[in-house]
Structure 1
Amino acid sequence: MQTLFRRLLRLLPRLGVQVTDLGPGTAVVSRRGTPYRATEVAPGTTVLSRRGGPYQVTGVDKDTWLLRRTQGGERTEIPRQGVVPLGESGALVLMDAPERVDERKMQLAAAEYLCVQHVTAMLGLYGVNCVFDVGANTGQYAKRLRRAGYTGRIVSFEPTSATFAKLEKAAENDPEWRVYQCGLGREEATAEIHTSWMTMNSLLPPSDYGKDRYSRFKKSDTEEIRIRRLDEVMDEALDGLTAPVPYLKMDTQGYDLEVFAGAGKRIGEFVGMQSEVACLRLYEGSPTMGEAVAAYEAEGFGISGMYPVTREATTGRVIEFDCVMMRAEAAPKP
């Protein structure tokens, strides 16, 4: 005996409605003339797609399917060797045509992803509610934190006018993202910064190694900027937070130790920090990785993660690392 549900389904086509029966208790109704295809991917699970449409379902393993756009709607399989399990984490890396993957680019992209995930986890563990983003450029770091799930305050500093305009635009619809047009350093001052080096603008001149590696260093456009001390801007940046728990991120192209020095005794208020440290100097007068890490450790920070940022293609040597450090004594007690 047919159920009332089945009898209603049989009547709908007479009213000009198309019915796609997906199984007991489940059906999709649509206007006639828009045919759909039902693909069962597992018992009790059916994916509905338009016939000839651009999306196809590809099985990855017994519990995972990938919905992907295909050219002209033709099904394209992902080769099994392109599915790489990440240890026992349950995560999979999907690579289309793995033989064409640029290993160096993939490693650096993976390092960037892992760094953001690690930082976000540390922000949560330590209860951070304000991130100081020094050397913000157009807001790339802040956007990554937001995508990774951080919802607390972000205070970004970018000194150059053209880049700051883009940063300000990026932050305009985020009430917890504040932006300041200035650089940070050891002393209050004005200074000339190179503005022709895109994401590598610096207050320092390039080293001989840097000149050999990057052609952009041949340009010499500059802009006068204001430099403030970190301890001088902290009260304003933290205003409105009942119990501030700040984290310091620095990416200032060789100038991070100067920013750090400008925090003075208030560096003790930061539960964690992140600095781009150099194995190979791109800028004259910039500290080595050992010098920078030693200065940070002397103030109570310990390394929790090191992620390569740039690498020499010919030798494999890392040029710079993102060094993430936390103050162990500030960790929540179990």
Structure 2
Amino acid sequence: MSTLYRRLLDLMPRIGVQVTDLGPGKAVVSRRGGPYRVTGAGKDTWVLRPTGDAARSEAAEDEAVRLGDSGAVLLMDPSARRDERGTQLAAAAYLCTQHVAAMLELYGVNCVFDVGANTGQYAKGLRRAGYTGRIVSFEPTSATFARLAKAAEDDPQWQVHRCGLGREESTARIHTGWKTMNSLLPASEYGKGRYSRFAKDDTEEIRVRRLDEVMDEALAGLADPRPYLKMDTQGYDLEVFGGAGERIAEFVGMQSEVAVLKLYEGSPGMGEAVARYEAAGFGITGMYPVTREATTGRVIEFDCVLMRAAAAPTV
């Protein structure tokens, strides 16, 4: 039986690509832009690279790392090996999205509450990972919300709301100009030392609502709601969580950015936040570093994924 690699090579001439077979695991393919080299990294695995001198020298140094017995292969080029921190954080972001998508499928989630949506990066990541259910995004600042609304306009299963969420219904002033890190909390001394963006201190008045007050609207039309709560509110996650009241029991899972080193004054530490989530019936299924100090290697924040085991489907 031919391998997937071999079947790919057999298919290429049908789409106008010339193939010169050089032996097991090696071939030269060409089309308009010049020749490319296919190198085998193992059974049914291949890499397609330009055959220029620079590319050839780097490709020769690539390392194919097998990920246990999963059948997956990670290809590490020299630049990735040199940037350990960047590679680890990128891998963590990818693994977190894949894990969340798997949990949404396992628990039958049909509505994701995307709190602190920014311009829609999280929602778009879920779509790329295969989640097709409802997404309800919350973003309070005017300029960022405009970009969020634009991102969601062609997705009928993606709702957007211009407001923040917290423990009480109110209006508040949010710190803006911090790119993806706008917060209702001021920056800590540690945060100011780490991020120069915190030196800018513009604010905008926003509406703050309670989570339990928006749930009926968000879940309307779902015969058997199975919601999941994602929070990324720059130190304000426990306030959002508190605003769910007793209705937090309706969520089958959740995700929160928890801080090891505090970027914002008055924000909870990781231990306090996780203890609150566990007391409400959630258990950790994954922890993924979001940011790390380049000089010390210390993790600053984790994405913490938690699910309600009692809500898991029974076989």
Same fold (TM over 0.5): yes
Residue 204, structure 1, aligned to residue 185, structure 2: yes
Contact 1:274 1:323 in 2 (8 A): yes
TM-score for both structures, normalised by structure 1: 0.84
Choose the corresponding residue for 1:172, options 116, 136, 153. Answer: 153
Further displaced range: 66-75 or 173-182: 66-75
How far apart in 2 are the matches of 1:103 and 1:73?
22
Displacement of 1:77: 6.4
Cross-structure match for 2:104: 123
Displacement of 1:57: 1.9
How far apart in 2 are the matches of 1:42 and 1:267?
60
Structure 2: gaps spanning 5 or more residues: 1-6
Residue 58, structure 1, aligned to residue 39, structure 2: yes
Cross-structure match for 1:227: 208
Displacement of 1:59: 2.1
Structure 1: gaps spanning 5 or more residues: 1-21
The secondary structure found in structure 2 opposite 1:325 is strand
Displacement of 1:275: 0.4
Contact 2:226 2:250 in 1 (8 A): yes
Q: 1:216 to 1:65 in 2, by over 3 A?
A: same
Cross-structure match for 2:78: 97
Displacement of 1:303: 0.7
Residue 257, structure 1, aligned to residue 238, structure 2: yes
Q: 1:63 to 1:29 in 2, by over 3 A?
A: closer
Code of the aligned partner of 1:224: E
Code of the aligned partner of 1:278: A
The secondary structure found in structure 1 opposite 2:295 is coil
* 1:76-225 matches, cutoff 5 A: 78-79=59-60, 81-98=62-79, 101-225=82-206
Residue 242, structure 1, aligned to residue 223, structure 2: yes
Displacement of 1:73: 12
How far apart in 2 are the matches of 1:67 and 1:246?
41
Code of the aligned partner of 2:309: A
Spell out, residue by residue over 1:67-121, the C-alpha distance to the aligned partner (whole angstroms, 9 max, x if none). 2456699866623552221122111111222576300010011111111111111
Cross-structure match for 2:3: none
The secondary structure found in structure 1 opposite 2:148 is helix
Supply the RMSD in Å over aligned alpha carbons: 2.7
* 1:25-40 matches, cutoff 5 A: 37-40=18-21
Cross-structure match for 1:312: 293
Q: 1:41 to 1:174 in 2, by over 3 A?
A: farther
Identity percentage over the alignment?
A: 73
Spell out, residue by residue over 1:18-67, the C-alpha distance to the aligned partner (whole angstroms, 9 max, x if none). xxxx9xx999589xxx9x63233778x98863376254322222432222
Count of aligned pairs: 306
Q: 1:54 to 1:240 in 2, by over 3 A?
A: farther
Cross-structure match for 1:303: 284
Spell out, residue by residue over 1:127-177, the C-alpha distance to the aligned partner (whole angstroms, 9 max, x if none). 000000000001111111111111111111000011111111111111111
TM-score for both structures, normalised by structure 2: 0.89
Code of the aligned partner of 1:66: V
How far apart in 1 are the matches of 2:279 and 2:90?
31
Choose the corresponding residue for 1:281, options 262, 285, 288. Answer: 262
